[in-house]
Amino acid sequence: MEHPVSEKRGVGPLLPSPPARQPKRNTLARKLLVSLGILLYGAYVWNCTQAIRSKPVAEGVSRCAQSDVLVPEKNGVLWRSLGATFGTGKFKAKAIDWLGGAVRIPTESYDDMGPVGEDARWDAFAPFHNYLASAFPLVHATLKLTKVNVYGLIYVWQGSDPLLKPVVLAAHQDVVPVNPSTVDEWTRPPYSGFYDGTKIWGRGSSDDKSGLIGSLSSVESLIEQGFKPTRTVVLAYGFDEEVSGRQGAGHLASALFDYYGKDGVAFIVDEGGGFVEQHGSVFATPGIAEKGYMDVRVEVTAPGGHSSIPPQHTSIGILSALLVEYEANPYRVQLTKKDPLFSTLQCFAEHGKNLPEELRRTIKRSWSSKKDLHKLEKEILRNPIYKSMVGTTQAVTLIEGGVKANALPEQAWAVVNHRISVISSVGEVKIHDSQLLENLAREFNLTYNAFGTRLSTQADGAPSSGTLTLSDAFHTALEPAPVTPTDKHAAPYQLLSGTIKATYNSHRGLSGADEIIVSPGMPSGNTDTRYYWDLTKHIFRYNHRNSGTKTNRLAGGVHTVNESIEIDAFLEMIRFFTTLILNADEATNL
């Protein structure tokens, strides 16, 4: 930074005095020499500038370093043998039966379900447990099974070395209910588990019985081949993930914590991202973070009465104005280097073969240039998916008010659903929403209470026209998840990355190190891992499955009609779990 020249008292001038002026000589020649010097200096500066602009950005520095393909060594023969088995028609038929049978047992969970033991709808999970016991006899004969809160399942495959931290493979048993009015829209009945020669159809075939049955299929196959683990493997299956997981994973987490303690687990893999071809390369994006969550209830009360003598604004009218204010003022989206998407974009820039060059340069320069980071931010805002991944979102999802057409509604309320940015917090959302509605609360002369704090919005002594209350609608507010380490020293991430590469290659008969690129990612929703933060710093939301392209959709219909999964994708998931278990068993640095 430039500073103005100044003098210090008592020490004289900062610069020496100039020499005595000499008589001017050869004035024209002097001017020519000065002009030439200026031209030469200008040319020098221009050349330096061009050199800087043309120099490769961050030359020699990788912002998306890739791990090597990781193949089991000690158990290499077993791994190759099982890989060959997974490719046989006999095993394929067995896999079809395993997953199809699981889909045929409806295990729906609902938002309004009461506690286990009080709500009979939970009883639907008992037949599913019976099915698992019959379908996977070796698992149930070998692993220790503990049932938590009746329907939560913890299988422990005890390793021979108790000093090694266990790995946890998680999944959930429940599925989203099938809307009865949509049954006729299904190509195959929603709980048929039908195999059409390519796909297995039905609710849960993709989300998430494929993950649950895939991990059980892997363990059953390993036991059948005589494998005995050195490192303990834990299978943890909740039963209400689709309705926030409080009855299932919430209780499983407590049981696991009581046994293994804080940071007592090497890593956890649960449902999440998969792999997909983008920008000319195949990218796998295991989720390393999750956004926070909060449902804000906006409630207005006002005097009732007969509708023939209405006030200027009813409670419904006031609520409507408040909701318009929400939608007119979305949260500002800001891309920072702390966001997982920034890491994903760096991987696109380094490994995306067909990424436009201008975008590639912008992404790479954004690492050290605020100007390019801002330019990249504007670019991603054009993509609604990227925009929703980065910023805190808001969506009005529920509304209710009034009981009769000719009666003034005394109460009206709505719920605004927020998914909180990884660089924000529940506290920031409360402050933002409270301040957002303050002026309208004053305009409508409402007594304003926001999250337990009364905000003065009316003149002292003036009568209130009603109330406005903001609150946590269901007491389920969730902070953004801790971000899983992904640097070169993060052994679990490196192991997962190498496993993904080995699985992808072996399933296709490939051998290259960069046939698939592994990049940090983030799922759009929350998983059961919200309850497991204390168990480990290394949590990955990843299902090794093709997430789909314009021409190849291996899994579809999640949470809607025609949910299905290709059998080839399911077989690759089994291969992934097998490779992961064997690689973790040989690792000494987890």
pLDDT tens, residue order, the chain (590 aa) = 333 333 333 333 322 333 344 444 455 445 444 444 444 444 444 444 444 343 444 445 789 999 999 999 999 999 999 999 999 999 999 999 999 999 999 999 999 999 999 999 999 999 999 999 999 999 999 999 999 999 999 999 999 999 999 999 999 999 999 999 999 999 999 999 999 999 999 999 999 999 999 999 999 999 999 999 999 999 999 999 999 999 999 999 999 999 999 999 999 999 999 999 999 999 999 999 999 999 999 999 999 999 999 999 999 999 999 999 999 999 999 999 999 999 999 999 999 999 999 999 999 999 999 999 999 999 999 999 999 999 999 999 999 999 999 999 999 999 999 999 999 999 999 999 999 999 999 999 999 999 999 987 665 556 788 999 999 999 999 999 999 999 999 999 999 999 999 999 999 999 999 999 999 999 988 999 999 999 999 999 999 999 864 333 434 678 889 999 999 999 999 999 999 999 999 999 99
The helix (H) or strand (E) run that includes residue 221 is helix 209-224
| The two three-digit tokens of residue 403, written as one number | 């009981």
Active site residue 241: yes
The helix (H) or strand (E) run that includes residue 224 is helix 209-224
CA distance 376 to 371: 9
Does 172 show up as a binding residue in the annotation?
Answer: yes
CA distance 323 to 395: 10
Domain ranges of the chain: 76-288+484-586, 292-472
In CATH, which of 3.30.1360.230, 3.30.70.20, 3.30.70.360, 3.40.1800.10 is domain 292-472?
3.30.70.360
CA distance 283 to 127: 38
Does 97 show up as a binding residue in the annotation?
Answer: no
Does 544 show up as a binding residue in the annotation?
Answer: no
Query: DSSP letters along 43-62, please?
Result: HHHHHHHHHHHHSPTTTT--
Q: Please check whether residue 171 is in contact with residue 544, taking contact to mean a CB–CB distance below 8 angstroms.
A: no
The fourth-level CATH superfamily of domain 76-288+484-586 is Zn peptidases (3.40.630.10)
| The two three-digit tokens of residue 317, written as one number | 């009218």
From 174, 220, 566, 585, active-site residue = 174
Q: Estimate the crossing angle of helix 125-135 against helix 89-103, to 10 degrees.
A: 160
Q: Coil, strand or helix: which one is 491?
A: helix
Active site residue 258: no
Measured CA to CA in angstroms, residue 383 lies from 134, 146, 221 at distances of 47, 45, 43
CA distance 587 to 71: 11
What is the structure's pLDDT at 557?
Answer: 77
Q: Which of 49, 59, 45 is nearest to 361 (CA)?
A: 59
What burial letters (b/e) apply to 351-378, b meaning 16+ CB within 10 Å? Answer: bbeebeeebbebbbbbbeeeebbeebbe
What burial letters (b/e) apply to 54-66, b meaning 16+ CB within 10 Å? Answer: eeebeeeeebbeb
From 241, 271, 339, 433, active-site residue = 241
CA distance 408 to 533: 48
Q: Estimate the crossing angle of helix 209-224 against helix 76-86, to 10 degrees.
A: 120
CA distance 317 to 302: 11
What is the structure's pLDDT at 547?
Answer: 82
| The two three-digit tokens of residue 282, written as one number | 């195949």
Does 514 show up as a binding residue in the annotation?
Answer: no
What is the structure's pLDDT at 53?
Answer: 42
Q: Which residues pair with 294 in a beta bridge?
A: 418
Q: Please check whether residue 564 is in contact with residue 557, taking contact to mean a CB–CB distance below 8 angstroms.
A: yes
Does residue 111 have a cis peptide bond before it, meaning omega lies within 30 degrees of 0? no
Does 418 show up as a binding residue in the annotation?
Answer: no
* First-to-last C-alpha distance (Å) of the chain: 47
Cite the DSSP H helix spans in 292-402.
315-328, 340-351, 357-365, 370-380, 384-390
